Structure 1
């Protein structure tokens, strides 16, 4: 998927007891002078590598696969394509600056939680990240700013979603990966219905997935979200949509119309190519695809060998 196109992830290696922990440890954080860091976490070998272009930025890799980019000096910087597209949705879900209540399914280095906190002060956020060792690493080396209302729950994404009260959040962001694959139980109509239940009126559901070649998983996910939500759109690199390479696709869904035109303008302004599909074009894209259900779902496809080199 490349440096700026790797899907974020939540390790999903069994159910865990939910436990709220504060995500921040105060100001400061790792400096480039300290060099890279490698540490075993629950989901594999985590590496923090200094970014050559930004003096306070770090890339998080798990088993060599890029996961997140965090700039401690500028939490509004979103270095990966899929994160910028999710950032556009954060910007558009409500008027600028208005605080949000956000549920992040998948934590990684907490890049999107940082973005929400920086662009929408007083927002309340909960993050489901089952890899507690990774959360500890991030809290220590890449701490959040004091005062940001972010809690990390060490639990499986679906178990947290099941416990979320009805109508409790403005935005659910699902970025759930086990290794490099979306786990089956987080891909289904039943999972999507839980996300819809958690949303307040006017709320949105945003999903990051990865697929390639004929895009069977992506087409099924469009059908799956469409079985629950009447409004949806998809954002991806045109080469990914043509099946030319494996990469990320971001889906947005809601019960009221999405600002597709404005989203398209923002995507077009990015340095990386992107296209927004919706309406008839998206229906044609998913034509013949079957929604995934708990009874028959499978994980997303594994990336081709060498995709992260």
Structure 2
């Protein structure tokens, strides 16, 4: 039996070559494991691979675990603030076939490129558009979303207007009472990155739990922390996930308090 040729991501796009986009540049770099990393302004932003049920970035696996602990049966709608290559929306659309996803990105040209690069679900399962993350949340009707995923960065930090009290209040207004918000927070030792973000989340939701590597949670190493916010988070499920994660992972309900 003939062996199938491997799937090539974005076969007509040059590698290791910056491509101009609205917010700067994007570059594709192939990895030895068959995935392709998307670099935006020289920062790794997303990972694309043929397999639909695999997430390469650790923080996205944290997000997926938090969503798995929460996800209701039946239909639900998610808003992704910071679309990039839509790796997580693609994964979730596969894992939860009845879910719908809206992904927004501040860049005006990147959403068009990622549609060309790989096999993303089509509308209405996944709608991608260029829009500011605050506008995307603030323009939603009350109680019109089940999930908000925030993964938007300028360099290695979340833009201030997507991490302050107003943004979190708008997210609280837009998600239903049973809804969830998961946010990727970049951290660096010796800084207060993420402190006001986490405090604003706590002022808005009943339960806020941080998930990340132990050293990152303790401020000893640079990395990403996933802030999970809702009114009834299954903390035991998150603890079980952390205990079995490939890298030393912890959950901290008091992170940056």
TM-score, length of structure 2 as denominator length = 0.90
Report matched runs for 1:194-209 at 5 Å: 194-209=170-185
Where does residue 26 of structure 2 map in the other structure?
A: 46
- Counterpart check, 1:127 vs 2:127: no
Partners of 1:42 and 1:33 in 2: how far apart?
Answer: 17
Q: How much does 1:116 deviate?
A: 1.1
- In structure 1, list runs of 5 or more residues that go unmatched: 1-26, 288-309
Where does residue 60 of structure 1 map in the other structure?
A: 38
SS at match of 2:157: coil
- Counterpart check, 1:157 vs 2:127: no
Q: Which of 248, 259, 273 is the matching residue for 2:234?
A: 259
- Counterpart check, 1:286 vs 2:250: no
Q: How much does 1:36 deviate?
A: 5.1
Distance 1:37 1:146, change over 3 A: farther
Say whether the 8 Å CA contact 2:59–2:184 is kept in structure 1.
Answer: yes
Name whichever structure is richer in strand by fraction. 2
Distance 1:261 1:214, change over 3 A: farther
Q: How much does 1:218 deviate?
A: 2.3
Where does residue 187 of structure 2 map in the other structure?
A: 211
Distance 1:217 1:34, change over 3 A: closer
Q: How much does 1:99 deviate?
A: 3.4
- Counterpart check, 1:272 vs 2:250: no
- Counterpart check, 1:186 vs 2:195: no
Q: How much does 1:69 deviate?
A: 0.7
- Counterpart check, 1:94 vs 2:71: yes
SS at match of 1:221: helix
Distance 1:164 1:178, change over 3 A: same
Which digits, 9 at most, give the CA deviation of each residue in 1:182-231, with x for residues without a partner? 11111111110100111112101111111122452323222111111111
Partners of 2:217 and 2:190 in 1: how far apart?
Answer: 9
SS at match of 1:227: helix
Say whether the 8 Å CA contact 1:117–1:148 is kept in structure 2.
Answer: no
RMSD: 2.2
Say whether the 8 Å CA contact 1:167–1:199 is kept in structure 2.
Answer: yes
Paired positions, count? 251
Runs of 4+ in 1 over 3 A off after TM superposition: 31-38, 145-148
Say whether the 8 Å CA contact 2:14–2:28 is kept in structure 1.
Answer: no
